[in-house]
Amino acid sequence: MVPSGKVFRIPVKTASSAKTPAPESAPELATDATPDIAEPVPAPVEPSTRVEEPVRDVVREAQTGDIDWQAVALHLQADAQAYRQRQALRDAQRLAEERERLLLPFLEVVDNLELTLEAAKQAGTATDDHLYQALTVTYGGMRNLLAREGVSVIEAVGAPFDPALHEAVALIPGTADQQVESLVIEELRRGYCQGERVLRPARVIVAQSAA
């Protein structure tokens, strides 16, 4: 029996008063794993221009610190001189070819004048013919023009045959007293040269000795 005037409190467990267990911590991730990083792609290397061997030698010596700059200067000076000489030869060759191209048509005009004058002589009309006289003056002017350009006639008749100067169109047996193996005995068309350069070989008939 409970005495009057006193109140006894009886603790009652409720759902809210129950101790909630602490949530388990999430498992830690491994930190020593490194992320995948793409390897850098090297930039394409442009093909280098070809370096001359003397230049490579100079670069190699400069890198090693053992270089004779006086020798380098002399080498470059010699290269420059050789280049100027080659360029001068090319220019001279080009000029000679251009002059030859311009002079060849004049040679044909001279050929025609010579044939015309020779035909007039054989016809007996050369003495009093004014046209013949005019052609003679023209022919002389053409020959003077060629001479001013350094053009000269190639000697043919009576000279030994030279394939660099003569163009043989016929071969005939030579005489017993012929001194050379191949002798030019007749010229069918004049040949011309300009200095050492043959503009046109002489067209000839050659006699060959029997020996």
Q: What does the pLDDT read at residue 54?
A: 64
Q: What does the pLDDT read at residue 120?
A: 84
Please enumerate, as own/partner, the contacts of 10-13 that have beta carbons within 8 Å and a separation of 24 or more: none
Q: Would you say the pTM of this structure is higher than 0.85?
A: no
Q: What does the pLDDT read at residue 211?
A: 61
| Cβ neighbours of 154 (radius 10 Å) | 20
Q: What does the pLDDT read at residue 162?
A: 93
Q: What does the pLDDT read at residue 52?
A: 59
Tokens of 111: 């050929």
Q: Are 204 and 186 in contact (CB under 8 A)?
A: yes
Q: pLDDT truncated to tens, each residue of the chain (211 aa)?
A: 445 555 555 555 554 454 555 555 544 544 444 445 555 555 555 555 454 566 676 667 666 666 777 888 888 898 999 999 999 999 888 888 888 888 999 999 999 999 988 888 887 766 667 888 888 999 999 999 999 999 999 999 999 999 999 999 999 888 777 778 889 999 999 999 998 889 999 999 999 886 6
For tokens 């030994």, name the residue.
160
d(CA 98, CA 191): 19
Please state which CATH class domain 152-211 belongs to.
Answer: mainly beta
d(CA 90, CA 94): 6
Q: What does the pLDDT read at residue 178?
A: 75
**CB-based contacts of 145, cutoff 8 Å, min separation 6:** 106
